[in-house]
């Protein structure tokens, strides 16, 4: 299996200033890896002409295919055309066809083509035009230093369409069969990243196929396996071998497998089971409800979410006995259970789930430090509750980790 290296180049001041996040590169990389290309680098560069020219030259000297996005607009700061011409040592030429298309694009919207947009029809002499049927800026393809450079618009919708309609077919034709990459993800909760890393260290050398990595987000660990092979079936089989080893290491900590987010997974399970749910949230402030509300079809089961921050609201909305709050405090397994029972009773849901905790930075005590979170669970009238002592990694962490805990409980207990 031949190896062909590819790189992505994202161009734009908004990216290097941190005002916008480069999502184009991730999309392109996934598509190219599925074609069998090996991704070696992402570069993000400002609109500064020399920086763009250098970045193009460097990427083209290292990779066989370079896909650049951005800087094709009609304004002064859009300089990718000139930078690519400079990198190749050629001039810009006016492409009458492209200008006709731009003029027609505007005419179709009932406006005169602004003279300013003419610059978008100036392309490097040696470049081949890539028609943009989704916007004004044409893209282009050209050879620089033996590499094939594609320059696409920065607007994600235009980029995606041009990539799938024009670039990928061209790469398939030009590079033939490079094999393909299969991805597999396993999600674990409750295991330390270092411990897992030690257990599967033998799968993780950097030059190994499959490529295996671990990422952690709010306590949820993801093991990502990317396996390259000649056919998708072979690639999947290769990935599956490593997945089996990860499963063995993970044991009961394995939560689920696949690329879905945990909230999506939990929401789908509720829908599948027809399990009506009411939430009672304190420290998460509606985060669990908001995440589940992102799942299509959740209205069939999610009946209500109470955000009961103050003790008074817990008493009024969830019928938590005031005496319970006085005796144990709002962050207690007793109150968590009572909140879950109250939410289920008030709505008639089969399942009530409650979260109450100390997200910090203040409010902690020696007995209940920041990160203490109690969870209530009431299924068909049977109440349970449990407590977690989360590390104090900030308010956001405590709230996100608590939301994950609720989703994990749904996945494990239903
Ligand atoms: P075009 O090449 O289509 O003219 P441009 O870069 O010249 O694009 P901008 O106005 O800079 O035009 O960007 C258009 C939109 O595309 C902006 O919302 C910008 O944030 C977004 N964009 C540009 N590059 C990226 C990227 N790498 N990832 C995600 N969004 C991007
Ligand atoms: Mg730009």
CA distances from 315 to 27, 222, 279, 319, 323 (A): 48, 39, 15, 5, 10
pLDDT of 395 strictly over 90: yes
Separation of CA 69 and ligand 1 centre (Å): 8
As a whole number, mean pLDDT of residues 371-389 equals 98
Which ligand does the CA of 47 lie closest to? 2
CB distance 155 to ligand 1 below 6 Å: yes
- Residue range 334-360, pLDDT digits in tens: 999 999 999 999 999 999 999 999 999
Which atom of ligand 1 is nearest the CA belonging to 78?
Answer: 7
CB distance 12 to ligand 1 below 6 Å: yes
pLDDT of 235 strictly over 90: yes
Q: Which residues does 281 contact at the CB level (< 8 Å), separation at least 6?
A: 287, 288, 289, 305, 306, 307, 308, 354, 355
Q: Where are the beta strands (DSSP E) in 46-159?
A: 65-69, 92-94, 122-124, 128-130, 139-144, 147-152
pLDDT of 190 strictly over 80: yes
DSSP 128: E
CB distance 78 to ligand 1 below 6 Å: yes
Identify the bridge partners of residue 9 per DSSP, sorted by sequence position.
43, 68
Nearest in space to 146 (alpha carbons), one of 2, 42, 5, 30: 5
Q: What is the pLDDT of residue 90?
A: 97
CB distance 151 to ligand 1 below 6 Å: no
Closest CA to ligand 1's atom 27: 22
Separation of CA 14 and ligand 1 centre (Å): 8
CA atoms within 13 A on the CB side of 348: 0
Q: What is the pLDDT of residue 273?
A: 98
Q: What's the gap between Cα 114 and its chain centre? A: 37
Q: What is the pLDDT of residue 77?
A: 79
As a whole number, mean pLDDT of residues 219-238 equals 95
pLDDT band at residue 94 using 50, 70 and 90 as cut-offs = very high
Instruction: Find the range with the poorest average confidence among 106-115, 345-354, 365-374, 375-384.
Output: 106-115
Q: What is the pLDDT of residue 281?
A: 98
For ligand 2, an ion, list residues with CB under 5 A.
12, 70, 154
Nearest in space to 3 (alpha carbons), one of 148, 168, 167, 177: 177
- Residue range 24-47, pLDDT digits in tens: 999 999 999 989 899 999 999 999
CA atoms within 13 A on the CB side of 234: 9
- Residue range 297-339, pLDDT digits in tens: 999 999 999 999 999 999 999 999 999 999 999 999 999 999 9
As a whole number, mean pLDDT of residues 86-109 equals 94
pLDDT of 293 strictly over 90: yes
pLDDT of 3 strictly over 90: no
CA distances from 313 to 81, 175, 318, 321, 353 (A): 60, 64, 7, 11, 16
Q: What is the pLDDT of residue 78?
A: 85
Q: Which residues does 179 contact at the CB level (< 8 Å), separation at least 6?
A: 1, 36, 228, 229, 230, 231, 235
Closest CA to ligand 1's atom 3: 153
CB distance 137 to ligand 1 below 6 Å: yes
DSSP assignments along 382-411, one per residue: EEEEEEEE-----HHHHHHHHHHHHHHHHH
Task: Collapse the DSSP code of 247 into the 3-class scheme (helix H, G, I; strand E, B; otherwise coil) and give the result.
Answer: helix
Closest CA to ligand 1's atom 21: 155
Average predicted confidence (pLDDT) for the chain = 96
Q: What is the pLDDT of residue 361?
A: 93
Separation of CA 69 and ligand 2 centre (Å): 8
């Amino acid at each position: 299996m031949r190896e062909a290296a590819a790189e992505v180049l994202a161009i734009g001041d908004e990216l290097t200033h941190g005002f916008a996040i480069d999502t184009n590169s991730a999309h392109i990389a996934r598509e190219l890896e599925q074609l069998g290309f090996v991704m070696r680098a992402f570069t993000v560069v400002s609109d500064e002409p020399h920086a763009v020219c250098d970045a193009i030259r460097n990427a083209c000297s290292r990779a066989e295919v370079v896909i650049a996005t951005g800087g094709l607009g009609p304004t002064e700061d859009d300089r990718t055309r000139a930078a690519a011409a400079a990198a190749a040592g050629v001039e810009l030429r006016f492409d009458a066809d492209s200008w006709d298309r731009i003029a027609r694009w505007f005419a179709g919207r009932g406006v005169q083509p602004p003279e300013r947009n003419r610059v978008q029809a100036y392309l490097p002499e040696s470049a081949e035009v890539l028609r943009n049927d989704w916007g004004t800026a044409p893209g282009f393809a050209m050879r620089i230093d033996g590499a094939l450079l594609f320059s696409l618009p920065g607007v994600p919708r235009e980029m995606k369409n041009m990539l799938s309609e024009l670039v990928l077919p061209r790469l398939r034709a030009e590079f033939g069969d490079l094999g393909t990459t299969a991805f597999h993800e396993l999600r674990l909760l409750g295991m330390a990243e270092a411990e897992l890393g030690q257990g599967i260290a033998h799968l993780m050398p950097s030059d190994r196929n499959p490529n295996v990595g671990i990422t952690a987000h709010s306590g949820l660990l993801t093991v990502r396996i990317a396996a390259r092979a000649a056919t998708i079936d072979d690639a999947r089989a290769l990935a599956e071998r490593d997945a089996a080893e990860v499963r063995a290491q993970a044991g009961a900590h394995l939560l689920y497998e696949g690329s879905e987010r945990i909230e999506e997974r939990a929401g789908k399970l509720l829908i599948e089971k027809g399990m009506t749910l009411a939430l009672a949230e304190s420290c998460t402030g509606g985060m669990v409800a908001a995440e589940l509300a992102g799942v299509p079809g959740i209205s069939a089961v999610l009946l209500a979410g109470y955000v009961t921050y103050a003790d008074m609201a817990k008493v009024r909305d969830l019928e938590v006995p005031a005496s319970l709050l006085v005796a144990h405090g709002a962050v207690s397994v007793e109150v968590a259970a009572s909140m879950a029972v109250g939410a289920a009773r008030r709505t008639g849901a089969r399942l009530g789930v409650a979260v109450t905790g100390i997200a910090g930075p203040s409010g902690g005590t020696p007995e209940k430090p920041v990160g203490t979170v109690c969870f209530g669970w009431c299924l068909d009238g049977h109440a349970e509750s449990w407590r977690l002592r989360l590390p104090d990694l900030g308010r956001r962490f405590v709230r996100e980790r608590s939301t994950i805990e609720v989703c994990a409980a749904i996945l494990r207990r239903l």
